[in-house]
Amino acid sequence: MTKDGALPKGFERPTVSASPNDSGVQEKSEEVKSSSKTITLRISKFNPEKDQRKAFHAFTVPYQRWTTVLDAILDVKSNQDHSIGVRYSCRQATCGSCGMIINGKPKLACFTKISELDSDVVTVEPMNNFPLIRDLAVGFERMFSTHKRMKPYIIREDSEISSGTKEFLQTPEDVEKYIQFSSCIKCGLCNSA
């Protein structure tokens, strides 16, 4: 509080006014200001078991500068269309399950901020080159089985560990040969491109 007993600017209490027609009932006359903008989110909807062809459904969604595409999709799913099929898990770009086509490019929905897309319309579609389960969710079975058959890990020629061996040392040159492959989160975006 200030010296004269008033609250600092921005901390004022809403004013309460009574009108002669409300028989003593008081109303709050508080104006709520929205600090968020809105975008049109176009979501591809298609269920192979029911639909003949895919259709885009448009939704108006509020967003802030930190809102991700996944946040917007989940807002629509919670408040406007509960039937949207979407896969997600970690919401921090480590599991790779929310990969989709966003404005024509394969991206992770949890990592793509709406404010960085520089568009009033955001279009989301399922990834290419994967079997469609429903709406934005695709099947990864083929990719995972291929990945397993490729054995994408280091296999030493002298793979037998002797009793005194505690670790296998690697030179920086050895690490450079495979480090680029170690950060793959199996999101499928490279297969969808």
Which one, of 117, 134, 137, lies nearest residue 188 by Cα? 137
User: What confidence category does residue 162 fall into, taking pLDDT thresholds of 50, 70 and 90?
Assistant: low
pLDDT digits (tens, 9 = 90+) for 41-88: 999 999 999 999 999 999 999 999 999 999 999 999 999 999 999 999
Q: Can you give the pLDDT at residue 157?
A: 73
pLDDT digits (tens, 9 = 90+) for 5-27: 555 555 555 544 444 454 444 44
Q: Which residue has the tokens 């269920």?
A: 47
Contact between 20 and 27 under an 8 Å Cβ cutoff? The reply is: no
Contact between 124 and 136 under an 8 Å Cβ cutoff? The reply is: yes
pTM of the model: 0.73
CATH number of the structural domain 37-139+187-192: 3.10.20.30
Contact between 90 and 142 under an 8 Å Cβ cutoff? The reply is: no
Q: Which of 6-10, 72-76, 92-96, 135-139 has the lowest mean pLDDT?
A: 6-10
Q: Which of 101-110, 145-154, 156-165 has the lowest mean pLDDT?
A: 156-165
